[in-house]
């Protein structure tokens, strides 16, 4: 009898392994289709704006393509997407367009009036250098790192996010969770240019944010304002979330991605613990849908009718794929399973644009600022960037396994 049970268990294991491999092969095929669409859409977008050398794609407004100048915080994402697609395809056409659009944001290296210079320059110039190894791309990265450091306040221990107060909020020194993303440029630049001050700023900001931005359940506030005289947190509120105490979905995504990245760059186990805790909050939240694409806010009052945010889903997916490489096998399997469901969903017609539609963006159904009715249920250039990044990360994982 024991022998029969053992044989039965072996058969079930073989069947389960076969089904899992089949599922993964189907997903791999889906990612190939999605990347083919990304190549088509992005090439059309690049060609469309060729005659407007000061513009970059942003979103859709009233059914038509909305562009921005390089001064808008999202300006570095389309160049970065083009670099990813060149890396994937090896097609020199995409390199040509990536260079073209990267140079469109070059002047932003001198920006000292906001924290998003990291998004602007490192997504564009950072990927350019990583992929080509050409030192011509290095100068703007170093200058942008110096520019970002001008916003650091040693009393507070953070770089300031905004110079002006949002709406009627009276913030002395507002710091948003999004700011974690701009630290990647600083820690990378500290090593590349042997500038320890860049690293000091990044680590201090990450540690201060870890201390003040998170609730006991590891959800994150959107905005923490600091008293510039004492350095103490004076307010914990939101600008884009449903309420001060709600869990704005993209904010949770920034926190997850930011601390995963900080562990990669520093190997500090404190950052890994934080990333795991944020990941667990997200993936075990009772309001996370079965397809794993979050509502725009985990506490939106109209769930399950609330709008989804593909941008938050793409960021979380990319972060989970990276995080799965830093944890024990059980956690890795758990994180990767969620990421695979997210990829499967985002690669479906529900979110993935058909060739020639969606104003040449790749993903549909993102939410920028729901509470102000800005960029609601539209494509967003950063959703495309992190989606393509997630696709490439997944395919690299599969290649290593093979």
Any idea which residues carry the catalytic annotation? Answer: 116, 178
User: Are the beta carbons of 203 and 216 closer than 8 angstroms?
Assistant: no
Measured in whole angstroms, the distance separating CA 211 from the mean position of its chain's CA atoms is 22
Three-state SS annotation for 14-39: HHHHHHHHHHHHHHHHHHHHHHHHHH
Cis peptide bond prior to 100, omega within 30° of 0: no
Query: Binding site membership for substrate: which residues?
Result: 116, 178, 238, 250, 254
Binding site as annotated, residues: 116, 178, 238, 250, 254
User: From edge to edge, which strands make up the β-sheet containing 174-176?
Assistant: 174-176, 223-226, 233-237
How many Cβ atoms are within 10 Å of 64's Cβ, its own excluded?
8
Plot region of 375 (φ>0 → left; ψ -120 to 50 → alpha; else → beta) = left
As a whole number of angstroms, the distance between CA 349 and CA 145 comes to 40
Cβ–Cβ contacts within 10 Å for residue 345, how many? Answer: 20
Pairing of strands 366-369, 374-378: antiparallel
Which residues on neighbouring strands pair with residue 57, listed in sequence order?
67
Q: Which of 296, 291, 289 is nearest to 311 (CA)?
A: 296
């Amino acid at each position: 009898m024991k022998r029969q049970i053992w044989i039965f268990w072996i058969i079930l294991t073989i069947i389960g392994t076969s089904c899992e491999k089949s599922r993964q092969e189907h997903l791999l095929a889906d990612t190939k289709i999605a990347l083919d669409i990304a190549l088509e859409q992005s090439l059309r977008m690049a060609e469309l704006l060729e005659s407007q050398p000061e513009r970059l794609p942003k979103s859709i407004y009233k059914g038509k393509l909305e562009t921005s100048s390089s001064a808008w915080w999202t300006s570095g994402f389309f160049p970065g997407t083009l670099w990813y697609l060149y890396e994937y395809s090896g097609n020199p056409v995409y390199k040509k367009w990536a260079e073209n659009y990267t140079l469109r944001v070059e002047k932003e290296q001198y920006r000292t009036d906001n924290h998003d210079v990291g998004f602007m320059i490192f997504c564009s110039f950072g990927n350019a250098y990583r992929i080509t190894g050409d030192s011509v791309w290095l100068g703007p990265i170093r200058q942008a790192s110096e520019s970002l450091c001008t916003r650091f306040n040693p009393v507070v221990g953070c770089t300031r996010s905004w110079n002006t107060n949002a709406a009627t909020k009276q913030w002395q020194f507002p710091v948003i969770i999004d700011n974690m993303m701009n630290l990647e440029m600083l820690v990378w630049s500290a090593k590349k240019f042997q500038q320890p001050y860049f690293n000091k700023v990044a680590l201090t900001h990450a540690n201060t944010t870890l201390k003040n931005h998170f609730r006991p359940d590891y959800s994150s506030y959107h905005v923490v304002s600091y008293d510039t005289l004492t350095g103490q947190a004076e307010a914990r509120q939101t600008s884009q979330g449903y309420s001060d105490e709600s869990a704005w979905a993209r904010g949770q995504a920034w926190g997850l991605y930011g601390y995963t990245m900080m562990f990669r760059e520093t190997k500090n186990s404190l950052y890994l613990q934080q990333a795991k805790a944020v990941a667990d909050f997200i993936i075990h939240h009772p309001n996370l849908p079965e397809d794993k694409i979050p509502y725009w806010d985990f506490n939106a009052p109209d769930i399950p009718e609330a709008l989804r945010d593909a941008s938050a889903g793409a960021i979380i997916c990319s972060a989970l794929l990276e995080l799965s490489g830093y944890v024990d096998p059980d956690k890795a399997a758990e994180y990767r399973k969620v990421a695979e469901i997210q990829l499967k969903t985002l690669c479906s017609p529900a979110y993935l644009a058909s060739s020639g539609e969606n104003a040449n963006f790749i993903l549909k159904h993102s939410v920028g600022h729901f509470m102000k009715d800005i960029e609601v249920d539209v494509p967003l250039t950063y959703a495309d960037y992190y989606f393509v990044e997630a696709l490439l990360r997944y395919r690299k994982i599969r290649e290593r396994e093979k």
